[in-house]
Amino acid sequence: MATVQKRGDAYRIRASAGYDATGKQIMRSMTWRPAPGMSAKQITKELERQKVLFDEKTKSGHHLDGNIKFKDFAEKWFEDYGKEHLRERTYYRYKELAERTYTAIGHIRLDRLQPHHLLEFYRQLAEPGVNMRTGGGLSPKTIKHYHTFISSVMDRAVKWQLIQDNPCKRVDAPKVEAHEIDCLDETEAAQFMRCLQDEPVETQVIFSLLILTGMRRGELLGLEWTDIDFDNCTITIRRTSQYATGRGIYTDTTKTEKSKRTITIPVELAALLRQFRAWQGERRLRLGDVWCTDWAEHPRLFCQWDGKPMHPNTPYQMLQKFLDRHGIRRVSLHSLRHTNATLLIGSGADVRTVSSRLGHSQTSTTLNIYAHQLQSADKAASEALADTLIRKRPG
């Protein structure tokens, strides 16, 4: 039967998990801490319940404790927690980060993982040569992703009472410098739209949607024809299309619940979408049985040549070629989302409307990202009011 030892304001519960090959008894332990405000009687009753539960778990082999190594626990965390609670994109991203993390700290027991282990790992990630593409170290943003992954695992270990605290909380997360928003100004955006008219219809639709709606890349590629309401000129965003190594292209949920939204589009864009749908239908008829039937029930707007969903890297490659052809300075795909937001703000749209169209979970997110643009718009509004009421007084 499990035994109890009081240690400060907590209780240490120990139980036998049998014997190892040498005949040595295997002991497991856990710490239980009463909730604030519990009476002595309640503590006694709950402590007895915890003893019985812990004893049963230990004897059945279902008990974990801080002795488990980080890699072993993380794998269990992926299986028992990650698959159900993480967004699919986050799950596969963490899987990608896991390999390098296991090499550095996978052998360390949870109860012995200390801040200096993490700091050394982050230092190694920043060393030249770690990034195979650039030859330099990983960016602070990527290193912060590693920190978030490790912290998520350790947080769950605390909640499952394997350890008392999360060492990641005692380490400052790598600082990510705030980058100035890169987007097209009004003149560049107008040139962008003029040049689009000389492009194939698919190119026109992809970049018109991005710059006129501000939707994210994954949201764009997740669009299905049933999401387009031609009569009311609206698009409803319900899902995203993502890619992960070993998983391929898959459908995922939107970034947040607020990201599920309906956006009004200009009638000109609705007409262009009709033209694009007709073009896609003709291509599908020409290909016949070659056209992929796996996605027949959920036909995507943007596909590969054979009807399979478009790879997430394709729009970026298309954008760079388009910009080079027309002598427009290179910007990222996400810059078109920023362009949409800044032009809306410049046109006088209120923050709540901009936030809603972008699918931000909170208006404060919009305020933080576009603080400079909002300040400029506020100054312009002040000047316009002064022109009307002060500088243009009759007489």
pLDDT tens, residue by residue, 110-136: 999 999 999 999 999 999 988 888 889
- Count of Cβ atoms closer than 10 Å to residue 85 Cβ: 11
Whether the CB-CB separation of 186 and 326 falls below 8 Å is answered with: no
pLDDT averaged over every residue in the chain = 89
Q: Backbone phi, then psi, for 242, in 5-degree steps?
A: -130, 170
Spatial separation of the C-alpha atoms in residues 223 and 262, rounded to whole Å: 12
pLDDT tens, residue by residue, 125-184: 999 988 888 889 999 999 999 999 999 999 999 988 788 899 999 998 888 877 778 999
Domains along the sequence of the chain with CATH: 3-60 (no CATH), 70-170 (1.10.150.130), 186-379 (1.10.443.10)
Write down the pLDDT at residue 394.
57
Spatial separation of the C-alpha atoms in residues 199 and 196, rounded to whole Å: 5
Any idea what the Cα angle at residue 79 is, between residues 56 and 109, rounded to 5°?
70
Q: Helices marked H in 288-332 — which ranges?
A: 314-325
Residue 222, CA distances (Å) to 245, 260, 290, 295 in order: 18, 12, 22, 12
Taking Cα atoms as reference points, which of 209, 216, 271 lies closest to residue 235? 209
Taking Cα atoms as reference points, which of 359, 256, 213, 239 lies closest to residue 298? 239
Q: What is the largest CA-CA distance in the chain?
A: 105
Any idea what the Cα angle at residue 91 is, between residues 90 and 94, rounded to 5°?
80
Whether the CB-CB separation of 54 and 30 falls below 8 Å is answered with: yes
Whether the CB-CB separation of 318 and 330 falls below 8 Å is answered with: no
DSSP string computed for 330-386: P--HHHHHHHHHHHHHHTT--HHHHHHHHT-SSHHHHHHHTHHHHHHHHHHHHHHHH
Write down the pLDDT at residue 208.
97
**H/E segment holding residue 95:** helix 88-105
Spatial separation of the C-alpha atoms in residues 366 and 357, rounded to whole Å: 11
First-to-final CA distance of the chain: 98
- For residue 159, what are its two tokens? 């909640």
Each residue's pLDDT expressed in tens, for the chain with a length of 395 residues:
788 988 888 898 888 877 655 667 777 778 888 988 899 999 999 999 988 888 887 776 555 666 789 999 999 999 989 999 999 899 999 999 999 999 999 999 999 999 999 999 999 999 998 888 888 999 999 999 999 999 999 999 998 878 889 999 999 888 887 777 899 999 999 999 999 999 999 999 999 999 999 999 999 999 999 999 999 999 999 999 999 888 889 999 998 899 999 999 999 999 999 999 999 999 999 999 888 877 777 789 999 999 999 999 999 999 999 999 999 999 999 999 999 999 999 888 989 999 999 999 999 989 888 888 877 777 776 777 677 668 765 55
Write down the pLDDT at residue 262.
97
Write down the pLDDT at residue 82.
93
- For residue 296, what are its two tokens? 């027949």
- For residue 224, what are its two tokens? 């299905």
Write down the pLDDT at residue 245.
83
Token match 């054979």: residue? 306
